[in-house]
Chain A
Amino acid sequence: MNGPFYKYGMFNEEISLIVAFVIGIGFGFFLERAGFGSGRKLAAQFYFTDMSVLKVMFSAIVTAMLGVFFLSWMGFLDLSLVYVNPTFLLPQIAGGLLLGIGFVIGGYCPGTSAVACSTGRIDAMVYIGGIFAGIFLFGFVFPLFKDFYYSTPMGSITLPQLFNISYGTLVFTVVLMAVGAFVMAEWGEKKMAQKKGAEL
């Protein structure tokens, strides 16, 4: 048996939509479990009082990364068939900055806003209205900065290819970085709680 199943034609597109729905349920479920239906909890990341965003995001990345690595190492998953979104460096850096600013102002990102919306957060509904406005605006002015949108193309490239090191080395580096960040996050949260306690 070989993955990705869909790309080996194990089921058709209709069924892939059902798969999408089920995977979406899992995605939404764990986002809500983590508390990401709450804009306050998400925003607390940027005030060092609750580092859940970092912890959840990096444990998810580490889990999936290790899973992908070992499954493909065992020959179960064909990594060359997993879609790698092509890199366009400059627009992605600019987009990331904008998105980060939007995150701290709006309190959500698109995925978490959906969860917040379905758990009754009215500000998340307003926020989603804002996303649509942003997309309309983007589409409207797209012809103007089309050149920038397609600038600095690097193709579908991964970090091991960029640095010319083995995939495993990079996996290990990311795990080290993540665990380091977790330790710092725990320590920082404790410090912030102490500080708050002292103020009160």
Chain B
Amino acid sequence: MKWNIQWTLNKRLAATALCLGFLALIAGNPHEGGRYEIDSRELALIVDKEIDHVGALELADWIIQNKADYRLIDLRSEKEFNEYNIPTSENTTLTALETYPILRNEKIVLYSDGGIHSAQAWFLLRAKGYKGVYILRGGLEEWKDQILFPRIAENATKEELAAFERIKEISKFFGGTPQTGSNEAKSDVSIAMPKLEMKTPAKQGTTARKKKKEGC
């Protein structure tokens, strides 16, 4: 008798499995990265309050400290990237971003020349369910102004001078040339962009970045 009950249980289990399997067949594909609904108000708020912005100084600090919990992505063309890029960055374009190997749980910092391209990429990634997406405020332009070629007025106060000393250090780290004086004659023409000294990481998938294997 007991055997009889057992058999019906097994049959029931098999039927359940078949039903669920059939549902899977109809469902087709699982949603890549889950289902995300875009909350436009939330996005607007984020944009408005600039929560998703990273300042040039902040980013410079991260790079100096060798922080590894984020990925820096350069959205300019390959040619521009090869001429100069922020150390540790990886290059991809807006169109290639969709297939670029970044994961949804990664912190991503985007930059382009100004802010437009990275802002567009930001929306693209947010819509696809990426949560930790940030933009370098002011893009490469601001990076140049603040880090590579910082400038201080001659009539600066003591506090400003003290703060500038720190920026000078940072600037030197990135091979920049800090300048004093508001002399506009010393225009950007005379200052060369720093040469690429720090090796940028080769394009690598996320598995290569993992320190420890997850396999058996």
Contact = CB atoms under 8 A, between A and B. Distances in A.
Direct A–B contact in complex, judged by CB atoms less than 8 Å apart: yes
Interface of A: 2, 7-9, 59, 62, 66, 68-70, 72-81, 83, 85-86, 156, 160, 166-169, 171-172, 174-176, 178-179, 182-183, 186
A175 B20 contact: yes
B181 interface: no
Interface in B95-116: 103-105
A171 B25 contact: yes
Interface of B: 10, 13-14, 17-18, 20-36, 103-105, 129, 131, 207, 214-216
A85 B32 CA distance: 18
B39 to A, nearest CB: 14
A85 B215 contact: yes
B35 A78 contact: no
B24 A70 contact: yes
Contacts of A166: 28-29
Given A59-B13, A176-B21, 8 more contacts: A62-B21, A70-B20, A74-B35, A78-B104, A85-B216, A166-B28, A168-B24, A178-B17
B25 A179 contact: no
A167 B30 contact: yes
Contacts of B207: 86, 156
B14 A182 contact: yes
A80 B27 contact: no
Given A9-B105, A80-B103, A179-B17, A75 B35 contact: yes
A176 B104 CA distance: 33
B36 to A, nearest CB: 7
B98 to A, nearest CB: 13
A147 B32 CA distance: 35
Contacts of A80: 32-33, 103-104
B33 A79 contact: yes
A172 B14 contact: no
A77 B34 contact: yes
A121 B104 CA distance: 45
Contacts of B22: 172
Nearest to B32: A80
Contact of B14 (A8, A79, A169, A179): A179
Q: Which 10 A-B pairs have the closest CB atoms?
A: A175-B21, A75-B35, A72-B30, A75-B34, A172-B25, A171-B24, A168-B24, A83-B214, A172-B21, A85-B215
B17 A78 contact: no
B17 A175 contact: yes
Nearest to B104: A78
A75 B128 CA distance: 12
Given A86-B207, A175-B18, A168 B26 contact: yes
B105 to A, nearest CB: 5
A13 to B, nearest CB: 10
Contacts of A66: 17, 20-21, 24
Contacts of A78: 33-34, 104-105, 129
B29 A168 contact: yes
